[in-house]
Amino acid sequence: MQIAVYGKGGIGKSTVSANLSAALALKGEKVLQIGCDPKHDSTRLLHHGQKVVTVLDYILNTPEDAQDPKAILMQGFSGTGCIEAGGPKPGMGCAGRGILTCFEFLNKHSVLDPYGTIVYDVLGDVVCGGFAVPARKRYAEAVYIVSSGEAMSLYAANNILQGIRNLDPDGRRIAGIIYNSRGSGDEKSRVFEFAEAVGLPVCVSIPRSEAFSKAEKLACTLAELDGSYEEAQLFSGLAEMILQGPELFTAQPVSEEAMELFLQGKPFNVTPGGKATRPALSASAPSAPAKGSVSVNAAPAKKKALSDPFGRVPLFGCAFRGAVDLAVHVKDAAVLCHAPKSCTWYAVNGITSYSRRGLFDRGVLYPAFIPRQFGCTDIDIHDAVYGGAGHAREKSLELADRGIKTIIAVTACIPGLSGDDLEPLKEELKARGTDMYIVRTDGVEAGDYNDGMALCYRTLADEAIQAPDAPDADSINIVYEQTWSSRTDGDYEAMKRIFDALGIKVNCRFLCATSIEDVRRFRNAPCSIMARRDRLGAELKAFLQNKYGCRFVDGCFPEGFKQTADLVCQLGKLYSKERRAEALISENLGLYRAVMAELKERFCGTRTMVFLSRKNDWLAELTEDLGLDVVCACVPQSAGAPDTGWGRRFSAGWAEDRDRFAKKTSELDPELILTSDPSVVPDPRQGVSVITVPGSVLKGFFGAAEEARKWARLLDADIKGRWRDDRSVFEKYYS
Amino acid sequence: MTDQYLRNTTPDSISGAVSACRGIKNSLVLINGPHGCKTYYSFGMGQTLPKASDLWGIRGELSVKDAFADDLLRSQYHTGSVHVPATNLRYEDFIFGTAGQLRRALDTVLQDRDYSLITVIQAPGTSLLSESLEPLLEDVSDRTGIPYLYIESTGLSGNFDKGYDDAVVKLLDRFARKAPAVKRTGARPSVNLFGLHDYQRYLEGDLEEITRLLDLCGIDVNLAICADCRLEDIRDLYAADANVLLTAERCGSTRDHLRKNSPIPVIDVGWMPVGPDLTERFVKQVSGALGTDCGPAQKYIEKTRAKIFYHIAKRTGGRGLPKDVRYAAEGEASMLYAFADYLTGYLGIVPEALHVLFDGTDTGGEEPLCTLLKEAGCEKALKSDISKVKDVILLGTANTIAHVLSYSGNVFGIETMCPSSGYIDVLPKTCLGCTGSLFLLEQILNGMRLLRAWE
């Protein structure tokens, strides 16, 4: 059983919660109490005032991979577990977010699992989405509201009912009112009158008593102080009631006007259905809260705490942007950004930068980068405060009315903060013949650009791909092409030439310049090929394999002659086109040898040093084919971690590697330095040529050879220019 | 959807605030936001504007140190821009508050560079936290001696001009000395220019041209607000003799602020001087208000008129530009008014579509445009869909040009606003004044040839 104790601030929720937990524990229950208040004193009476490590402080100061839930779990009276969520300093941050984060942490580490009863002690009122967490469906099954007969306490109790009704209009979640007397006037009758008005029982009446002060001073519960106290017996009775399964009721707050009349002591009308005549329901057996999902191939990288100044590897682009950048590649779908204009502008501006550049640099228009069906809900402050799902509905229906059959809705941080739920909208649109796919990149915690792409990939892979309707044995899918590179088109064309030569058609490009129809027919192809390889790609591949049993070609788009020939061979076997494959390889091998012979004259025997941020197969093949004399090769990252180059670049290790390389350079006296990072050679000595090596080259048989041709041109035209001599003049006028 | 496209491809209010603040020489504009906002407002902005990396100031305050400071750009706070870093917030900062990371960022960023101003702008998400960061900024400012400006919110879905205008008012309010400064005896009159920003396609050339025109009128430019001015110039704002407001939409709140606080007169021009007629009106209005002689400027304009006539006559034999040529344009109403006055009123080209950006700003920019179009019998241009035009000369951003080209191959684009296509301007260009009249004509004449070539 999971119980949430709500009530106005200072009304005694923590005292009630702790005494209730103690009483439950004495009845043999395994109890966990979670204090959901930034001031973190909910469990003090249970653990006798131990030094508290709150969950949020722990998360902030402990590297993610070193986090251990034992550090935040204290043992209290009679084996009770005690946890304090904690929160930011007053006036800073967002305590409600903190509660959400705390619960994510507890779920991730399965902290709640061993306990039979969990008592949530929740701050004051249902003040925001975060504090409403314990009242949400998957957490508390029974909600108790602590109230005295004071006006503001009852007012808060009514607000809490209102909040719970908003969360779960028809759910039976309320167990009743715990009347905690302040010992003033006729408060008892007011509490009972209110309880009747809202159709709830008063489960227990706790008198004002010195016993509480005594226990408070000793930092213990009444049960521990002296179980024979009458007040202790009251909690024992309440615990028994809970263990029996309390009757539960729907939240039926009275209207504000009626509440006002009530508080003034005037007659008032109760909202319909507000009497305690509604059928009660027994609480069901405790259910475990949902667990956080874990990435398929989570890398066990060492991390640092966020409070550590070096704990934040710079990330580039947010999840929202990553998802939008990918979604626009489904050409016949409308992309609806549920976001402020600011986010949309930067996403669109980023996307269209390819079209602008393409137009100017190459005179080519890339339609995928001029998204025509692109909407934004233009979230304003009203939406942020009150929720913007209605606004999203308006925009979506507009799109549907315009005949749009597929909408990809991508949500930004603000709807995440305000808790917008677009799921009902999805159903409504479905009934009108429009499919909506929701990519929930809503919130800073959704991750970075890659995480957003991953969400978009997963959403469409999971929801859009359908059973095969017309299988085509001579077709192939291309998965995970680079969507923001000017190379993508060239690579695709190069691969398509190879497929064409083998008589294989491209079935679906998932997701690059594609259509929702192609995505749906993904499974018509017997085989797929990954365009590139990294952690995200591996996760996507595993997902498609696990969910649909998709078959993949080994490796990805090939670079260099050898990889390309291997792939052609493999495709020949897979598609029973061995003879075509052999012919294709043999035809290109002759051409390749001729090109290499010509280039070898220029490069053979050149003393060369190589500095790469990651392993590079095509370069290894090329240096060999060109006959370069490689005297030193520095590749700081292992081959098994192809996506870590970026993080490496921002680490202290990078500077060490650079220094080592510089030392080697002066020792080995090379003629040529090939590097993926020219800043490792900031000031090369006279006579040394430095060439920046790209991370990848054009795919297919001749991409690497073309790269070598460029080197030759660079080396043959190494004229410095006299402009460098004018640095002093520049500094004179400009600095 | 077309309106949505154009709305989505025009910058937002935070961009406006960033543009205003980074228009102050050697200022630091720190976005207090997560990594997404960091990328877009620092890297994204650098890519959007012709300044590219932002290592080069438009008046050239480049330091070699910046140009080759690869280490700096490797820090967690920068992405391609020295002057617009961000705090690189994580989810946890939204819970515990952003002050800790903001302090770390400022400590790092201020470590080895001397900035003239620190501006902290809250990103959309952080603006909802309502944090009181002033005490922290006060402390940093006391310690470093660098003044600060804190912009808590620019609105979630506001437009560029609003963000720019509001930021200018904040700067004036915080830094401009209230009393008029003592003027040098015998000095020429001077003006402050308002309404220029770096989302204009040719800011550097625009400033040069306006300065040249005013110089010919015997007037100096004291400062062009937020167009690479110094903070000291803003403090001494009222050392000038008048404030000249150029674009209604960019100066709505500024106008109100100046009218209330400025001890020197406000010359509310309301539009940019495009084409010889508006240029002449501009110089007359400003020099008239300051009592100077605009004769030399008029002579310059007269020569420009002659040159325009020569080029049109040479190509059309005095018949004028071909009547079937049309143009379309996007921009604020006051910018459209200026373009329409030149292209329609002076050159006699019919507008096919005029798309007003940032409508609803209620700054009075639309009225002159509507009047002009009504007099020319071209009101329907305001109702036409700019994204569907074809066979036109199109004045706008590279985004709109690319968008229209995706429907129709027969369009000649003239970039008047950012984002641009990326053409690198070594020689400063402008669409304003006499030089701008000729530059626009040059493009129109060549554009017409291209349009004809496709027929």
Prediction ipTM score: 0.85
Give the whole-angstrom CA distance, residue A300 versus residue A294. 12
How many Å lie between the alpha carbon of B340 and the closest alpha carbon of chain A? 26
CATH T-level topology, domain B190-292 = Rossmann fold (3.40.50)
Residues of A annotated catalytic, as ranges: 8, 13, 39, 125
Give me the percent of chain A exceeding a pLDDT of 90: 41
CB contact under 8 A, B421 and A357: yes
A213 versus B298: the higher-pLDDT residue is: B298
pLDDT at A295 over 60: no
Flag whether pLDDT at A731 surpasses 90.
no
* Whether B40 contacts chain A with CB within 8 A: yes
> What pLDDT, in 10s, does the model give residues A79-112?
999 999 887 776 666 676 677 778 878 888 889 8
Q: Nearest by CB to B422, which of A59, A360, A371?
A: A360
pLDDT level of residue A155 (50, 70, 90 thresholds): confident
Question: What is the full DSSP assignment across B318-382?
Answer: TS-S-TT-EEEEEE-HHHHHHHHIIIIIIT-PEEEEEEETTTT--SS-HHHHHHHHHHHT-GGGG
Q: How far apart are CA A643 and CA B147, in angstroms?
A: 42
Q: How sure is the predictor about A163, in pLDDT bands with cuts at 50, 70 and 90? A: confident
- Please report residues of B whose CB lies closer than 8 A to that of A89: 96-97
Per the CB < 8 Å rule, is B64 touching A59? no
Q: Which residues does residue A508 pair with via DSSP β-bridges, in sequence order? A: A477
Phi, psi angle pair for A573, to nearest 5°: -70, -45
Q: Tell me what pLDDT residue B43 has.
A: 58
What is the rounded distance in angstroms from the CA atom of residue A121 to the CA atom of residue A453? 38
Residues of A in contact with B129 (CB under 8 A): 93-94
Which stretches in chain B have pLDDT values below 50? 1-2, 46-72, 455
Q: Which residues of B touch A108 (CB under 8 A)?
A: none
Q: Is A444 on the interface with B (CB under 8 A)?
A: yes
Collect all residues of chain B within an 8 Å Cβ-Cβ radius of residue A413: 34, 36, 124-125
pLDDT per position as a tens digit, A171-186: 788 999 999 988 777 7
Please state whether the peptide bond connecting residue A246 to the residue before it is cis, i.e. omega within 30 degrees of 0. no
Name residues 10-69 of chain A within 8 A of B (Cβ). 56, 59-60
Locate tokens 């009770």: which residue? A80
Average pLDDT of chain A is 83
Determine the pLDDT at residue A637.
54
A397 burial via Cβ count (<10 Å: 0-12, 13-18, 19+): middle
pLDDT of residue A489: 86
Q: Please tell me whether residue B272 adopts helix, strand or coil conformation.
A: coil
Q: Under a CB-based contact definition with an 8 Å cutoff, are residues A703 and A588 in contact? A: no
Burial zone of A45 (CB within 10 Å; 0-12 exposed, 13-18 middle, 19+ buried): buried
Q: How far apart are CA B94 and CA A613, in angstroms?
A: 34
Give the whole-angstrom CA distance, residue A336 versus residue B158.
18
Q: pLDDT of B356-368, one tens digit each?
A: 988 656 677 789 9
Helix (H, G, I), strand (E, B) or coil at A39: coil
Cα of B266 to nearest chain A Cα, Å: 32
Q: Is A352 in CB contact (< 8 Å) with chain B?
A: yes
DSSP result, A409-462: EEE-HHHHHHT---HHHHHHHHHTT-EEEEE---SGGG-BHHHHHHHHHHHHHH
pLDDT digit string (tens) for A113-141?
899 999 988 876 555 555 666 665 557 78
Q: Quick check: B125 and A733 CB within 8 A?
A: no
Segments making up each domain of chain B, as ranges = 7-158, 190-292, 302-454
Sort out which chain A residues have CB atoms less than 8 A from B97's CB and list them. Answer: 88-89, 91-93
Contacts of B125 in chain A (CB under 8 A): 413-414, 417, 444
List Cβ neighbours of A537 (8 Å cut-off, separation of 6 or more): A479, A480, A530, A556
CB nearest B156 (choices: A93, A307, A342): A342
pLDDT band, residue A284 (cuts 50/70/90): very low
Q: What is the DSSP letter of B43?
A: I
- Helices B275-290, B433-453: inter-axial angle, 10-degree rounding: 170
Q: What number of C-beta contacts closer than 8 Å exist between A and B?
A: 230
Structure tokens at A439: 């990519």
For residue B254 the two structure tokens come to 């500024």
Q: Do the domains B190-292 and B302-454 sit in the same CATH topology, yes or no? A: yes
Closest listed residue to residue A314, CA positions, set B162, B35, B253: B35
Check A345 against B35: CB less than 8 A apart: no
Interface of A with B in 72-111 (CB under 8 A): 87-89, 91-95, 97-98, 101
Predicted pLDDT of residue A201: 92
**Cβ-nearest to B90 among A312, A353, A733:** A312
Its CATH architecture, for the domain B7-158, is 3-Layer(aba) Sandwich (3.40)
The residue of chain A nearest to residue B33, with distances taken between CA atoms, is A444
User: Are residues B128 and A92, on separate chains, in Cβ contact within 8 Å?
Assistant: no
User: Hey, how many other C-beta atoms are within 10 angstroms of the C-beta on A200?
Assistant: 25
**Do the Cβ atoms of B167 and B251 come closer than 8 Å?**
no
Range of A5-19, A355-369, A438-452, B296-310 with top mean pLDDT: B296-310
Residues 305-334, chain A: which have Cβ within 8 Å of B?
306-307, 309, 312-321, 334
For residue A395, the number of C-alpha atoms closer than 13 Å in the C-beta half-sphere is 26
- Identity of residue A300: P
For residue A689, list its beta bridge partners.
Answer: A672
Q: What is the pLDDT of residue B364?
A: 76
pLDDT at B435: 98
Mutant choice from B7, B59, B70, B96 vs A, greatest count of A C-beta within 10 A: B96
Distance (Å) from the alpha carbon of B160 to chain A's nearest alpha carbon: 10
> Which of chain B's residues have a Cβ under 8 Å away from the Cβ of A307?
100
Q: Do B93 and A445 touch (CB under 8 A)?
A: no
Task: Name the superfamily (CATH) of residues B302-454.
Answer: Nitrogenase molybdenum iron protein domain (3.40.50.1980)
Helix segments in A245-338, DSSP class H? 256-263, 319-327
Inspect the interface and report whether the beta carbons of A92 and B5 lie closer than 8 Å.
no
Q: Which of B2, B4, B134, B151 to mutate to test the interface with A (most CBs of A within 10 A)?
A: B4
**Minimal Cα–Cα distance from B329 to chain A, Å?**
18
Interchain contact A340–B (C-beta under 8 A): yes
**A427 CA to centre of own chain:** 24
Model pTM score: 0.76
**pLDDT for residue A279 is more than 60:** no
Confirm if B127 and B13 have CB atoms less than 8 A apart. no
Q: Are A27 and A168 in contact (CB under 8 A)?
A: no
Residue B320: what pLDDT? 81
Up-side HSE of residue A498: CA atoms within 13 Å toward CB?
28
Mean pLDDT: which of A222-226, A405-409, B135-139 is highest? A405-409
End-to-end alpha carbon distance in chain B: 29
| B39 vs A663, higher pLDDT | A663
- Chain B residues within an 8 Å CB radius of A353: 47-48, 419
